[in-house]
Amino acid sequence: MNAAHGARLGWIARRALLGLRWPGMAGVVMAAAALVIALGAGRPMLERLQSLEREARTLGARSASTGAEASPRTPHGQLSNFYAFFPPPSALPDLLSRMQRAARDNGLTLPRGEYRLVRDPAFALARYQITYPVQGAYAQVRGFVNDVLDGVPAAALEEMTLERDDVSQGVLEARVRFSLYLGTQP
């Protein structure tokens, strides 16, 4: 493209912009801003989409390695896939050590706990109820609960009670009850 042609295109663009007046100029500016925002917001969304695709592939590989059907067509097949994701009872020591590590990482100690195995013959999962009394700041207790729920997918928070005797001290007496759901097949 030669200089004369470039100058002519520049003149045409300026003339078109001047012909828009202020409402048209505002529209052009808003369209440009929308484009910049869309491109800026698009990157995190694209990264999230890629992360979810990786997670879906990982879950697909897990179900294939456990012998579950790749695409269950029957309700029985779907139920089998559901139960295949729960850890076996032999994984219990590892799950408990993850819970201990979560407490330690948040500056809490678990000096004792109540452990109770609940089996319902009509239910294909075993439920292991664990109750921990803990003392610490609210942020520590909340961090512990969050870390357990993130690090132990088979865990569910059943109950959390918080008590504070003296408001000025900032130390909570907490009682946290989790349930670990385990597959009943060995």
Tell me the C-alpha to C-alpha distance, in Å, between residue 25 and each of 6, 22, 28. Answer: 22, 5, 5
- Reported as a single tens digit per residue, the pLDDT across 101-153 is 999 999 998 889 999 988 878 788 889 999 999 999 999 999 999 999 999 98
User: To the nearest whole percent, how much of the chain has pLDDT over 70?
Assistant: 89
Domain segments of the chain as ranges: 1-85, 86-183
What is the distance between the alpha carbons of residues 88 and 111, in angstroms, rounded to a whole number?
A: 26
Long-range contacts of 18-23 (CB under 8 A, 24+ apart): none
| CATH number for the domain whose boundaries are 86-183 | 3.30.70.60
Q: 3-class DSSP state for residue 177?
A: strand
Residue 182 DSSP class: E
Average pLDDT, the chain: 82
What is the distance between the alpha carbons of residues 70 and 64, in angstroms, rounded to a whole number?
A: 6
- Reported as a single tens digit per residue, the pLDDT across 68-112 is 545 557 887 787 778 888 888 888 999 999 999 999 999 998 889
Beta sheet of 172-183, edge-to-edge order: 114-119, 125-136, 172-183, 155-163
pTM over 0.75? The answer is no
